[in-house]
Amino acid sequence: MRWFLRRLAFYVFALWMALTLTFLIPQLMPGSPIGGILQHLSPQQIQQNPGIILTYEKIFGGKNVSLPSAYWQYLQHAAHFNFGISTSNYPTPVSEVIGRTLPWSIALVGIAFCLAFILGTTIGMFAAWRRGGGFDTIFVPLFMALGAFPAYFTALLIVYLFGLRLGWFPIQHAYGTDLTPGFNWTFFSSAIDHGILPALVIVLAFAGGWVLNMRTVMINTISEDYVAMAHAKGLKDRRVMTRYAARNAILPPLNGFAPQFATAVGGVIFVELVFSYPGAGFTLQQAALGKDLPLTQALLLVFAVCPIVAIFIIDLVNLVLDPRIRAS
């Protein structure tokens, strides 16, 4: 319990830091909160409505608000999940814009990253168990080479090869433009087809790290005495590999899941940009270019909170798997 309370205090502090940084970064950006709206208005429209700027400043707040007051208001609004109105989607609330875009990113990154973890740790396990063999010689360097390329570069190669040259998969958007989202197989099949290439990019970008990590830890675990004792009992190789060696070797890669997930969440911005995928990353890029400060601020907070939540879940998993933590 004492360990859990210490970790909980750490997460509360990390959440406060995320809130503070996501408040300060947009505040330091040039322009005003109403810049996203005013840039869509012509000078004639502004001259014909001289009070329009004051009206929008009352709605969104201007630069004349003191920083401590704006910070306190931001904390109060964040506690109620109220991030204001999106200036680039006026008068749509920020929460509604995020509610439309975030599920696409969660589905894409969550599924693809879990597949990368499962694929990478499985290949690393077999490569370590049969180290020096053909499987180890071929697959480990292959996945390491694929993981060395930046995600956006891999995305461009995949778009050219599988989308433009072969034409196997669509290369833009999350579903067919002639479809309406709904709970039907036509929509789901279209969403799957559109998500295969972005998911493949994420899998190839991150699986190599898991392969190398799992292989290294697994090799060290195989040399432990309890693995030799399991062999001496006459247990089958597959059971020794999975129930004895891999079960203990998986803990260090599992602890690295959250930091790698944070990298994946940040890298999805470039992947979504290449595929014009309507997720949170693509929306953040559009919001920053459109000077939509409320939406930018909220999406930065989402990207900051995601790794915190991931680390918290990993700690809970370790609490269940590792008896040494429960005893502390």
Percent of the chain's residues with pLDDT above 70: 80
Residues 312, 256: Cα–Cα separation, whole Å: 12
pLDDT per residue as tens digits for the range 115-156: 888 888 888 888 887 787 777 788 888 888 877 777 778 888
- For residues 270-301, one letter each, b for 16 or more C-beta atoms within 10 angstroms of the residue's C-beta and e for the rest, the string is bbbbbbebbbbbbbbbbbbebbbbbbbbbbbb
Domain total in the chain: 1
- For residues 138-167, one letter each, b for 16 or more C-beta atoms within 10 angstroms of the residue's C-beta and e for the rest, the string is ebbeebeebbebebbebbeebbeebbeeee
What amino acid occupies position 263?
T
| Banded model confidence at residue 52, pLDDT cuts 50, 70, 90 | low
Mean residue pLDDT across the chain: 76
Least confident of 7-11, 71-75, 319-323: 319-323
Considering only residues 110 and 230, tell me which one the structure prediction assigns the higher pLDDT.
110
What is the 3-state secondary structure of 97-138?
HHHHHHHHHHHHHHHHHHHHHHHHHHHHHHHHHCCCCHHHHH
Residue 309 reports pLDDT greater than 60: yes
Please report whether residue 16 resides in a domain. no
Closest CA to 202 of 113, 122, 269: 113
Please report whether residue 217 resides in a domain. yes
Please report whether residue 22 resides in a domain. no
Q: Where in the sequence is the domain holding 122, given as residue range(s)?
A: 103-290
Please report whether residue 29 resides in a domain. no
Please report whether residue 119 resides in a domain. yes
Residue 187 reports pLDDT greater than 70: yes
| Banded model confidence at residue 60, pLDDT cuts 50, 70, 90 | low
Q: What is the CATH number of the domain that holds 223?
A: 1.10.3720.10
What is the number of residues in the chain? Answer: 328
Percent of the chain's residues with pLDDT above 90: 0
| Banded model confidence at residue 47, pLDDT cuts 50, 70, 90 | low
pLDDT at 296: 83
Residues 42, 49: Cα–Cα separation, whole Å: 11
Please report whether residue 17 resides in a domain. no
Please report whether residue 93 resides in a domain. no
pLDDT at 203: 86
pLDDT at 65: 61
